[in-house]
Structure 1
Amino acid sequence: MATRAPRGGLFGRVKPLDAILATAEKKSLHRSLGALQLTLFGVGAIIGTGIFVLTSVGAQKAGPGTLISFIIAGAVCVVAALCYAEISSMIPVAGSAYTYSYTAQGEFLAWTVGWALLLEYAVGASAVSVGWSNYFIDTVMERSWGIDFPDWLSSGPVVLGGKAGGLLNLPALAIALVVTGLLVIGTSESAKVNAILVAIKVTALTVFCALTLPVVQAANFEPFAPAGMFGGFGSGVGVVGAAATMFFAYVGFDAVSTAAEETKNPQRNVPIGLIGSLAICTVFYMLVTAGAVGAIGGQPVMGANGAPLPAGEALSLQCATPQYVDALVCSREPLAHVLHTIGYGTIGNMLGYAAFIALPSVILILLFGQTRIFFVMARDGLLPEALSRVHPKWKTPHVVTIITGLIVAVAAAFFPVGALADVANAGTLYAFLMVAIAVWQLRRTEPNRKRAFRVPALPLVALLTIGGCLFLFFNLPLEAMLVLPLWTIIGFGIYFLYGRRHSHLGRGLVEVHEGEAHDLAPHVPGINDPDHRH
Structure 2
Amino acid sequence: MIFGRVKPLDAILATAEKKSLHRSLGAFQLMLFGIGCIIGTGIFVLTAAGAQKAGPGLMLAFAIAGAICVVAALCYAEIAAMIPVAGSAYTYTYSVMGELLAWTVGWALVLEYAVAASAVSVGWSGYLNGLITEFTGVGLPAFLAGAPLALGGVEGGLINLPAVFIALLVTGLLMIGTSESAKVNAVLVAIKVTALTAFIILTLPQAEMDKFNPFLPAGVFGGLGTGLGAVGAAATIFFAYVGFDAVSTAAEETKNPQRNVPIGLIGSLLFCTVFYILVAAGAIGTIGGQPIMGPNGVPFPAGSEELARQCATFSANTLPLVCSDEALAHVLRQIGFSGIGNLLGIAAFVALPSVILVLLFAQTRIFFVMSRDGLLPEGLSKIHPKWKTPYVVTAITGVVVAFAAALLPVGKLADIANAGTLFAFMMVAIAVMMLRKVEPNRKRVFRTPALWFVGPATVAGCIFLFVNLPLEAMLVLPIWGAIGLVIYFLYGYRKSHLGRGIVVVHESEVQDIDPGIPGVDDEDRR
Q: Are positions 1:327 and 2:320 aligned together?
A: yes
Correspondences of 1:439-454 after superposition (within 5 Å): 439-454=432-447
Partner of 1:199: 190
Partner of 1:282: 273
Shift of 1:532: 5.9
Partner of 2:465: 472
Q: Are positions 1:482 and 2:475 aligned together?
A: yes
> For structure 2, which runs of at least 5 residues remain unmatched after alignment?
none
Shift of 1:279: 4.1
Letter in 2 for 1:305: N
Q: Is 2:148–2:154's contact at 8 Å kept on the other side of the alignment? A: no
Q: Decide which of 72, 77, 84 is 1:85's aligned counterpart.
A: 77
Letter in 2 for 1:502: K
Q: Is 1:89–1:266's contact at 8 Å kept on the other side of the alignment? A: no
Q: Decide which of 162, 178, 182 is 2:173's aligned counterpart.
A: 182
CA RMSD of aligned residues (A): 3.1
Partner of 1:66: 58
2:24, 2:356 → 1: CA distance? 21
- Deviation sequence 1:253-298 (CA, Å, 0-9, x none): 23566x779x967996987875564344223212211111122211
CA distance 1:158–1:47, shift in 2 (3 Å): farther
Shift of 1:157: 1.0
Letter in 2 for 1:246: I
Q: Are positions 1:96 and 2:62 aligned together?
A: no
Partner of 1:316: 308
Correspondences of 1:91-490 after superposition (within 5 Å): 91-138=83-130, 140-158=131-149, 163-186=154-177, 189=180, 191-254=182-245, 275=266, 277-310=268-301, 311-322=303-314, 325-391=318-384, 395-490=388-483
1:133, 1:182 → 2: CA distance? 18
- Give the structure-2-normalised TM-score: 0.90
Shift of 1:252: 2.5
Shift of 1:166: 2.0
CA distance 1:166–1:267, shift in 2 (3 Å): farther
Q: Secondary structure at the match of 1:453?
A: coil
Shift of 1:329: 1.0
CA distance 1:265–1:82, shift in 2 (3 Å): closer
Letter in 2 for 1:199: A
Identity %: 68
CA distance 1:400–1:267, shift in 2 (3 Å): farther
Q: Is 2:153–2:409's contact at 8 Å kept on the other side of the alignment? A: no
Q: Are positions 1:21 and 2:13 aligned together?
A: yes
1:318, 1:189 → 2: CA distance? 41
Letter in 2 for 1:129: S
CA distance 1:33–1:307, shift in 2 (3 Å): farther
Q: Secondary structure at the match of 2:503?
A: coil
Q: Is 2:53–2:230's contact at 8 Å kept on the other side of the alignment? A: yes
Shift of 1:10: 2.1
Shift of 1:62: 0.7
Letter in 2 for 1:250: Y
Give the number of equivalent residue pairs: 514
Q: Is 1:46–1:281's contact at 8 Å kept on the other side of the alignment? A: yes
Shift of 1:45: 4.4
Shift of 1:433: 0.4
Shift of 1:206: 0.7
2:382, 2:97 → 1: CA distance? 27
Shift of 1:369: 1.4
Partner of 1:527: 515
Q: Secondary structure at the match of 1:225?
A: coil
Q: Which moved more, 1:243-252 or 1:124-133?
A: 243-252
Letter in 1 for 2:2: L
- Give the structure-1-normalised TM-score: 0.88
2:442, 2:265 → 1: CA distance? 21
Letter in 2 for 1:361: S
1:508, 1:219 → 2: CA distance? 67
2:471, 2:484 → 1: CA distance? 21
Shift of 1:325: 3.8
2:50, 2:121 → 1: CA distance? 19
CA distance 1:388–1:189, shift in 2 (3 Å): same
CA distance 1:284–1:361, shift in 2 (3 Å): farther
Partner of 1:4: none
Q: Secondary structure at the match of 1:15?
A: coil
1:411, 1:41 → 2: CA distance? 30
Q: Which moved more, 1:434-443 or 1:150-159?
A: 150-159
2:401, 2:168 → 1: CA distance? 8
Q: Are positions 1:52 and 2:44 aligned together?
A: yes
2:207, 2:151 → 1: CA distance? 28
Q: Which moved more, 1:62-71 or 1:242-251?
A: 242-251
Q: Secondary structure at the match of 1:441?
A: helix
Q: Secondary structure at the match of 1:189?
A: coil
Q: Is 1:117–1:373's contact at 8 Å kept on the other side of the alignment? A: yes
CA distance 1:158–1:193, shift in 2 (3 Å): farther
Q: Which moved more, 1:422-431 or 1:390-399?
A: 390-399
CA distance 1:125–1:403, shift in 2 (3 Å): same
Q: Secondary structure at the match of 2:56?
A: helix
Shift of 1:396: 3.7
Q: Is 1:198–1:361's contact at 8 Å kept on the other side of the alignment? A: no
> For structure 1, which runs of at least 5 residues remain unmatched after alignment?
1-8
Shift of 1:319: 1.9
